[in-house]
C-alpha cells in the first residue's frame, strides 16, 4: 500500500464522494488486501478481518469527501479506521489471545523446499510461534508491530494511524520487540 495520497487516489476519493461506483471499486481493489491483512494480523481471526474490511470501506463510501490529505496519508487513514473497528470488535468478543488455526493462511504460506523438509518444518514452527507471540501481545504493542514491522510503515505514519505521538510508537515498538524476543527465547529453552 502506498504511504501517500497519489493524484489517482485523490481523484478516486473525489469521484467516490460523488457516488461513482467504478471509482469505489478501483479504490477498493487497490486497498482491500492491505486493510484485510492488517485486520487479520491484529485480530487473528479471518471473520473479524472480513467484517472490519467491509466496515472500513463503508466509512470510505460515506466520508470520502471528508478525508484531508494534510492530516496524513490515505494509508494512515485506512489503518486508523481499521484499528478502531478491530479494537471495538476484540473488546466485544473478549478474544485478545485467539490463534489462527488455518494452515492455508498467509502466515503458513511458506515455499516448500523438497531438499530439506526438516528445515521447512522447523521454519514453519518458528513462524507459527512468532505469529502466536504477536497475537498474544497486548493490543497497543501488537498494533505497532503489525504497522511498523509487518506493514513497514515509518514511525510518523504509524503515529498518524494510531493517533499518538511518534515517541509513543517508538517506545511501544521497543517494548513489543523486547516482549517478543523474551517469549521466543523462553519457547526455545522449553523446546530443548
Q: What is the pLDDT of residues 122-144, one digit of tens each?
A: 566 777 777 888 888 999 999 99
Give the pLDDT confidence score for residue 118 in this predicted structure.
55
In the structure, what pLDDT confidence band is assigned to residue 28 with cuts at 50, 70 and 90? Answer: very high
pLDDT of residue 106: 44
The architecture in CATH of the region 1-95 reads Orthogonal Bundle (1.10)
**Mean of pLDDT over the chain:** 80
pLDDT value of position 168: 95
Selected residue with higher pLDDT from 130 and 53: 53
Most confident of the following: 47-56, 98-107, 124-133? 47-56
Q: What is the pTM of this model?
A: 0.65
Question: What is d(CA 80, CA 27) in angstroms, rounded to the nearest whole number?
Answer: 17
Assess whether pLDDT exceeds 50 at residue 165.
Answer: yes
Greatest pairwise CA separation for the chain in angstroms: 61
Residues of the chain with CATH 1.10.1740.10: 1-95
- Find cell 473525489 and name the residue: 14
Mean pLDDT across the stretch 147-154? 91
Q: What is the CATH number of domain 113-192?
A: 1.10.10.10
b/e map of 136-159 (b: 16 or more CB within 10 Å)? bbeeebbbbbbbbeebebebebbb
90 pLDDT tier (thresholds 50, 70, 90): confident
Where does CATH 1.10.10.10 sit in the chain?
113-192
Is residue 101 very low, low, confident or very high in pLDDT (cuts 50, 70, 90)? very low
Q: Does position 85 have pLDDT exceeding 90, yes or no? A: yes
Nearest to 169 by CA among 159, 160, 177: 159
Amino acid at each position: 500500500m502506498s504511504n501517500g495520497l497519489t493524484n489517482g487516489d485523490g481523484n478516486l476519493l473525489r469521484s467516490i464522494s460523488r457516488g461513482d461506483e467504478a471509482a469505489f471499486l478501483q479504490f477498493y481493489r487497490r486497498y482491500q488486501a492491505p486493510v484485510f491483512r492488517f485486520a487479520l494480523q491484529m485480530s487473528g481471526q479471518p471473520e473479524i478481518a472480513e467484517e472490519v474490511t467491509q466496515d472500513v470501506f463503508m466509512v470510505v463510501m460515506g466520508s470520502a469527501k471528508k478525508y484531508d490529505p494534510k492530516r496524513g496519508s490515505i494509508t494512515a487513514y485506512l489503518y486508523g479506521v481499521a484499528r478502531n473497528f478491530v479494537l471495538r470488535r476484540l473488546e466485544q468478543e473478549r478474544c485478545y489471545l485467539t490463534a489462527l488455526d488455518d494452515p492455508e493462511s498467509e502466515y503458513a504460506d511458506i515455499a516448500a523446499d523438497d531438499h530439506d523438509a526438516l528445515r521447512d518444518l522447523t521454519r514453519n514452527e518458528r513462524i507459527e510461534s512468532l505469529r502466536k507471540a504477536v497475537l498474544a501481545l497486548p493490543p497497543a504493542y501488537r498494533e505497532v508491530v503489525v504497522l511498523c514491522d509487518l506493514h513497514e510503515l515509518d514511525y510518523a505514519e504509524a503515529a498518524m494511524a494510531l493517533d499518538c505521538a511518534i515517541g509513543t510508537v517508538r517506545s511501544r515498538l521497543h517494548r513489543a520487540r523486547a516482549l517478543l524476543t523474551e517469549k521466543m527465547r523462553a519457547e526455545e529453552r522449553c523446546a530443548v
